[in-house]
A = this chain, B = another copy of it.
Amino acid sequence: MVENKELYKFFAQGEKFFQPGISIDSVIFGFHNNQLKVLLTKLKYVNLWSVAGGFVYKDEHIDDAATRILRERTGLSNIFLKQFYIFGDPRRSDRKFHVNRMRHVGWDADRNYWLLKRFITIGYYALVNFTNVVPTRDYMSDLCDWYDIHDLPPLIMDHGDILGRALETLRTQLKYQPIGYNLLPQKFTMPELQKLYETILDKKLDRRNFQRKMLGYDILNRLEQRRKGGAHKAPYLYSFNLKKYHRALREGLAGGW
């Protein structure tokens, strides 16, 4: 198998290219069907899933590495991406997992093999537009797809913790920063934006107060057009005023839900 050759090559030569002992794990959030989703990959030879992970090239900025990994998994660049925590427990790695994978491609590792050493991982979280993403697996995985935040498959190592802490961070950030731009299509309605907030915060918000508060932030453009076709009254479409949006990102919102 050509793919397993690639994996073999990674095992054999990764040490040459990658910064030792450091990995990156990005929790990629998307929004679809009124549900918050995470992009996960199923790793080969085991029945375990993983958030979008990877390694840092020896001369690569960690933020660039995170961006690259995100692009490899989603096809997207220019995305909201932020480091949120470092996971530095010396026992977080799962030796058996690696040994098992290596056996499948015929790589025989000794005890000092680079991948079996301790890894510290840098947690990033990303917000992406679900419909623009083309989930792309690589030679390490045989599946890459979205999963509902409330219905997750079994995760490798401490990826449950990583995901949980990313979600917690997202919820906190939500209070002080605008976020819809990265998760919604260009044009969207106020109820759609509200659903996004409700989904992330996991609680109902008052329709009318939400609208007024959101408009109060002064980061939205109301378009002439309305969303037709649905039953009932047609809602306005909005887009983000990028200039004001980015100012709000820098300076923060009043906040408090």
Interfacial residues, chain A to chain B (CB-CB below 8 A): 19-22, 56, 58-63, 83, 85-86, 88-90, 118, 120, 122
Contacts and interface: CB of A to CB of B under 8 A. Distances in A.
Nearest to A123: B86
A213 to B, nearest CB: 16
A86 B88 contact: no
B58 A120 contact: no
Given A21-B20, A21-B21, A56 B88 contact: yes
Contact of A22 (B61, B83, B85, B120): B120
A118 to B, nearest CB: 6
Nearest to A65: B88
A58 B118 CA distance: 8
A128 to B, nearest CB: 22
Contacts of A20: 20-21
A126 to B, nearest CB: 16
A122 B59 contact: no
Nearest to A24: B88
A90 B122 CA distance: 15
Contacts of A86: 62, 83, 86, 122
Given A21-B21, A21-B22, A118-B19, A61 B83 contact: no
A54 to B, nearest CB: 14
Contacts of A19: 21, 118, 120
**CB-based closest 10 A-B pairs:** A62-B88, A59-B90, A20-B20, A61-B89, A86-B86, A86-B122, A19-B21, A20-B21, A61-B88, A61-B90
8 contacts: A19-B21, A21-B21, A21-B22, A58-B90, A59-B118, A61-B89, A61-B90, A62-B88
